Chain A
Amino acid sequence: MTAPLSDPRKVFGATVSQLAETRPEVVVLSTDSGKSSGFGDFAARHRERYFELGIMEQGAMGVASGLATTGRVPVFCAIAPFVTVRPYEMLRNDVGYMRQNVKVVGRNSGVTYSDLGATHHSLEDFAITRMIPGLTVLAPVDPAEIEAACVAMLDHPGPVYMRIGNEPIPDLAPAQPFVIGRGRTLRPGSDVTVVTTGSIAGSALAAAELLAERGLAAEVLGLGTVWPLDEDLIIESARRTGRIVTVEEHYVVGGLGSMVRELSAERLGIPVAKLGLPHGYSTSGPYHQLLAHYGLDPAGLASSIQAFLESPLPY
């Protein structure tokens, strides 16, 4: 039986559009990106709340900030690198430093825009967005969590960056209300704690299945919020399992792996293996082949996790 797959962009766009029906303060900013972000219907229904700005992401971030000062709640969605690395200083100063209630959403994140190459991959967005004080960083793991995260994002009275992919993904767990800063256990286990986030979570869960067939019980934690990190959830699990693996569609430096290693160094002293993309310019190709190339497909992850568990300490 195969679980139905959903396009994260469509889920996101439809959810925010639905929520905006009863939240007149929500406005949508597009940099030639709105329709691909799932806002085609919203643009037609609410022309006065849909701002097409053309391809100018730096200016758009400032416009979002300015609109927020007038009581609007701007949602600005485009391809992830173009709302993070491109207008980073505007995100820091105009949104972060000015404490404006702006929701920035990077879609086609990680390597999900697989064929378009390194300019269109976002492999440092966790690293740089978490550096902006007061900015919440979300990466929901499945379609149901994207829906719940949209509610939480709009309810949250402050700036948010949310990352979603574009590759169709299945639901991984029953829907539940999204609490910013709280992750959840997607699969219980006792041999190793696998901490994952965003669209790669399905691959991590499938890897746990493969490990179970080999007699290894991996506990998989899905962090819909990357920052602030759910330290309590990770600590509770890791103290039982004694080993941590992070799995993310992000560089192995600066992202979730680095955050969890910081946590372990400060509070646990438990070894952390970081699985993600190497710190280089990513290659391109079909998405699932690309994941396999970097060892992020279920088989590759299972192999790396097993090798980590079999390696002597200190790792």
Chain B
Amino acid sequence: MNQTPPRAWSESPDRLRWRAARSRRHVLRMLRAGGAGHLGGAMSCVDLVSSLYFHTLRHDPTQPKAPLRDRFILSAGHKCLAQYAVLAEAGYFDLDLLDSYGHLGTPLPGHPDMTKLPGVEANTGSLGHGLSIGLGMALGLRADGQGGRVWVLLGDGELPEGSNWEAATAARHHRVDNLTALVDVNGLQISGRVADVMSTEPLTERWAGFGWDAITIDGHDVDQILAALEQAGQANGRPTVILAHTVKAKGVSFAEDKVEYHYWKTKPDLLAQAEAEIDAAISALEEALA
């Protein structure tokens, strides 16, 4: 057993923006393969997920089960297109596997399955499970004493699930400061605006009331994301929540902030337009990198 934690990738902000754009393109590739999927939430959280994997998370695609790796859990499992995209971009599996999305028996199901795909840490999909699982992982890694950290991404529509607040209570009680929740605050859920369906505002005060350190950022601004991830790593006896304000379907102009793109059955012309937009973004970022 390898008892050295893998390294963080620590890529530059420009490169992180490029990684996120490429990941968005992978999301569209899966939608083209499968014909439908949860576009909106994948695009709203992908900057957060890719920044984690390519900057902060200590992980190694060649050793997906390295015992002392940091863990990322996608509590909002329906955003799995983002996680699959980032895992593929990081090299956990061949990019060609993305083309199996939506096909019978694919290792990329509509909600992630850790027994089918390397890099997936929990079988999420039913909402409100990830933070409790993450808390258990954080308690175990803390006892291992090698600085292991756990990051759990939740959707804002998921927050009324009571089990989230069970975990939030226990994490603070046990002073679990190696656990960070990232809330993808895109403001939309399948029925409409989160504010109309079931508001959990005021978010900052709510999490602070549970004893968590709350950081509010623009969840598409890589510099703000990196600053928040850095701040979350402090050992102060308190868990941290990053409240990342985002735009649903970010990067696909016709779909941004529109509830009907929560789950999208693709249309050929619109999918081609989305692909062209993301390709143009990648080209621009590659020019910046060059």
Interface residues of A (CB under 8 A from B): 48, 51, 53-54, 56, 58-72, 74, 89-90, 93-94, 97-99
Determine which of B133, B150, B166 lies in contact with A56 in the assembled complex, contact meaning CB atoms within 8 Å: B166
Q: List 17 A-B contacts (CB under 8 A).
A: A51-B174, A59-B135, A59-B163, A59-B166, A59-B170, A62-B132, A63-B133, A63-B136, A69-B71, A69-B121, A70-B67, A71-B67, A93-B126, A93-B129, A94-B122, A94-B123, A94-B129
Count B interface residues, CB 8 Å: 34
B123 touches A98 (CB 8 A): yes
Name the residue of chain B whose CB is nearest to the CB of A87. Answer: B163
Interface centre among B67, B133, B173, by most chain A C-beta atoms within 10 angstroms, is B133
A66 touches B129 (CB 8 A): no
Please judge, given known A-B contacts A67-B137, A71-B140, whether A53 and B170 are in contact too, CB under 8 Å.
yes
Name the residue of chain B whose CB is nearest to the CB of A51. Answer: B139
Please judge, given known A-B contacts A51-B139, A90-B132, whether A63 and B123 are in contact too, CB under 8 Å.
no
Determine which of B113, B126, B139, B173 lies in contact with A66 in the assembled complex, contact meaning CB atoms within 8 Å: B139
Output the least CB separation between B17 and chain A (Å): 32
- On chain B, the residues within 8 Å of A68 by CB distance are 136
Determine which of B121, B132, B137 lies in contact with A61 in the assembled complex, contact meaning CB atoms within 8 Å: B132
Name the residue of chain A whose CB is nearest to the CB of B71. Answer: A69
* A72 CA to B144 CA, complexed, in Å: 11
- On chain B, the residues within 8 Å of A48 by CB distance are 143
B163 touches A90 (CB 8 A): yes
* A291 CA to B173 CA, complexed, in Å: 42
Known contacts A63-B133, A69-B122; 6 further A-B pairs (Cβ under 8 A) = A54-B173, A65-B132, A67-B140, A72-B140, A90-B163, A93-B123
- On chain B, the residues within 8 Å of A66 by CB distance are 122, 132-140, 150
**Interface contact tally, CB-CB below 8 A:** 100
- On chain B, the residues within 8 Å of A56 by CB distance are 163, 166, 169-170
Interface centre among B71, B163, B174, by most chain A C-beta atoms within 10 angstroms, is B163
Name the residue of chain B whose CB is nearest to the CB of A63. Answer: B136
A94 touches B133 (CB 8 A): yes
Name the residue of chain B whose CB is nearest to the CB of A96. Answer: B123
B140 touches A70 (CB 8 A): yes
Question: Interface on chain B toward A: helix, strand, loop, or mixed SS?
Answer: helix
A63 touches B129 (CB 8 A): no
B140 touches A69 (CB 8 A): yes
* A75 CA to B137 CA, complexed, in Å: 15
Please judge, given known A-B contacts A59-B166, A99-B115, whether A65 and B141 are in contact too, CB under 8 Å.
no
- On chain B, the residues within 8 Å of A90 by CB distance are 129, 132, 163
Output the least CB separation between B70 and chain A (Å): 12
CB of B280 within 8 A of chain A?
no
B132 touches A63 (CB 8 A): yes
Please judge, given known A-B contacts A51-B139, A89-B126, whether A94 and B169 are in contact too, CB under 8 Å.
no
B115 touches A62 (CB 8 A): no
B137 touches A69 (CB 8 A): yes
B162 touches A67 (CB 8 A): no
B135 touches A62 (CB 8 A): yes
Name the residue of chain B whose CB is nearest to the CB of A29. Answer: B136
A58 touches B162 (CB 8 A): yes
Output the least CB separation between A156 and chain B (Å): 19
B132 touches A94 (CB 8 A): yes
CB of B82 within 8 A of chain A?
no
- On chain B, the residues within 8 Å of A62 by CB distance are 129-133, 135-136, 163, 167
Output the least CB separation between B193 and chain A (Å): 27
Please judge, given known A-B contacts A56-B166, A98-B114, whether A67 and B129 are in contact too, CB under 8 Å.
no
Determine which of B113, B114, B132, B169 lies in contact with A54 in the assembled complex, contact meaning CB atoms within 8 Å: B169
* A70 CA to B123 CA, complexed, in Å: 16
- On chain B, the residues within 8 Å of A60 by CB distance are 132, 166
A70 touches B141 (CB 8 A): yes
Smallest CB-CB A-B distances: 5 pairs:
A66-B136, A62-B132, A70-B140, A59-B166, A56-B166
- On chain A, the residues within 8 Å of B71 by CB distance are 69
* A61 CA to B130 CA, complexed, in Å: 11
